[in-house]
């Protein structure tokens, strides 16, 4: 019989915990287990925001400013921790096309550093948060956990490398690894390079919404709270070491549909849409089968898309003080590189 796990009263290391998914996870973990203590390790690069952790008490959380590629920083952060969740990653496909080496260093070598320290201290569970993009394009059906990996961007390839390296530490050293592969997340605190926050904040300001190609690229859209709750379930579920779990919402929408929904919620015109030259190697569809997660643990997503996307738009409307400073400086330079010179293919007429 497998020994039950519990994070009640335990120390949990969350890497990348000042980023979008990581910070939402920290808030939900401590809401569910207020007697746990979270150690957040984050390098606070462009997408890591210290303010994402505001409202948490020092008795609940310790923040360590450091990089997962740095063994000393990792050893400091992991000291006394029984559980590790690795959210830290370079995670935007467009940026991976510009600087692929950064992605390999963080998403592969960083996993190696974390796994080595976790093996040394003997953690009870190590969750490697991966992505559905490791499967590559899924033009028909839904990818199950035993599908061959076929990443088609430097980002997806780097995540596949970290994903399989973590699994290798289970096979070789017995490190109690669980790998998860989630679909597209949306929700509060998402850095505005991603589609939903970029389009919402652009539309609020009356700026164009740059839609790649014909806008028919399709993704499965999962609210970040459902993703975090699935991870909380897997963190404590016994007997799943060495397993991989897809986490999806089974709610596929293409970019044009998402864009139209956002404009409708914001009461903005569709004339803001600009069709622009597509990025290289843009995968047309991702779709995961997450029935294994439900079958093994009983977990199912709770937040329907209509409710989740409305609440997300309302959060960005109510928190301009969070995103307006972000969309200056480095972000503005990045935005101009990505979209400023990109060929416009068409626009929506009034």
Question: Catalytic residues, which ones?
Answer: 132-133, 155
How far, rounded to the nearest angstrom, does the alpha carbon of residue 93 sit from its chain's CA centroid?
A: 12
Q: Please give the DSSP secondary-structure letter assigned to residue 216.
A: -
- Residue 147 contacts by C-beta under 8 Å, 6 or more apart in sequence? 135
Using DSSP's 3-state secondary structure scheme, residue 127 falls into strand
| Strand ranges across the sheet with 209-212 | 209-212, 273-276, 344-347
Tokens 């963190």 locate to 235
Reported as half-sphere exposure (CB side, CA atoms, 13 A), residue 204 has a value of: 17
For residues 169 and 122, what is the distance between their CA atoms, to the nearest angstrom?
12
> What are the backbone dihedrals phi and psi of residue 28, each rounded to the nearest 5 degrees, phi first?
-70, -40
The CA distance from 290 to 70, in Å, is 34
DSSP element (H, E) containing 315: helix 305-318
Six-digit token pair at 51? 């303010």
Q: Which of 43, 1, 35, 38 lies closest to 18, judged by CA?
A: 43
| 199: number of Cβ within 10 Å | 27
Cα 76 from chain centre: 24
Q: How far apart are CA 168 and CA 170, in angstroms?
A: 5
Q: How many CA atoms lie within 13 A of 71 on its CB side?
A: 7
Task: Please count the other Cβ atoms lying within 10 Å of the Cβ belonging to residue 265.
Answer: 17
């Amino acid at each position: 019989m497998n020994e039950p796990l519990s994070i009640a009263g335990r120390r949990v290391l969350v890497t990348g915990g000042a980023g979008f998914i990581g910070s939402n996870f920290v808030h939900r973990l401590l809401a569910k287990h207020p007697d746990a203590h979270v150690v957040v390790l984050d390098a606070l690069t462009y997408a890591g925001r210290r303010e994402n952790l505001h409202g948490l008490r020092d008795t609940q959380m310790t923040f360590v400013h450091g990089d997962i590629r740095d063994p000393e920083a990792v050893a400091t952060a992991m000291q006394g921790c029984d559980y590790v969740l690795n959210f830290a990653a370079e995670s935007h496909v467009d940026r991976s096309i510009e600087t692929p080496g950064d992605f390999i260093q963080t998403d592969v070598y960083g996993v190696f550093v974390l796994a080595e320290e976790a093996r040394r201290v003997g953690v009870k569970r190590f969750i490697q948060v991966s992505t559905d993009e490791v499967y590559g394009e899924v033009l028909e059906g839904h990818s199950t956990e035993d599908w061959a990996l076929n990443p088609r961007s430097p980002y997806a390839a780097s995540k596949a490398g970290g994903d399989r390296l973590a699994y290798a530490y289970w096979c070789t050293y017995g490190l109690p690894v669980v790998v998860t592969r989630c679909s597209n997340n949306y929700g509060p605190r998402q850095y505005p390079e991603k589609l939903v926050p970029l389009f919402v904040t652009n539309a609020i300001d009356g700026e164009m919404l740059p839609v790649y190609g014909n806008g028919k690229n399709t993704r499965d859209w999962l609210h970040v709270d459902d993703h975090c709750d699935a991870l909380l379930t897997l963190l404590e579920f016994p007997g799943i070491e060495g397993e991989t779990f897809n986490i999806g919402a089974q709610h596929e929408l293409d970019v044009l549909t998402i864009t139209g929904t956002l404009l409708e919620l914001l009461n903005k015109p569709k004339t803001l849409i600009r069709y622009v030259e597509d990025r290289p190697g843009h995968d047309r569809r991702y779709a995961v089968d997450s029935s294994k997660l439900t079958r093994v643990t009983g977990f199912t997503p709770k937040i329907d898309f209509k409710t989740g996307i409305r609440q997300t738009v309302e959060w960005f409307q109510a928190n301009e003080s969070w995103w307006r400073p972000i969309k200056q400086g480095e972000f503005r330079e990045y935005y101009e590189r990505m979209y400023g010179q990109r060929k416009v293919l068409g626009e929506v007429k009034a």
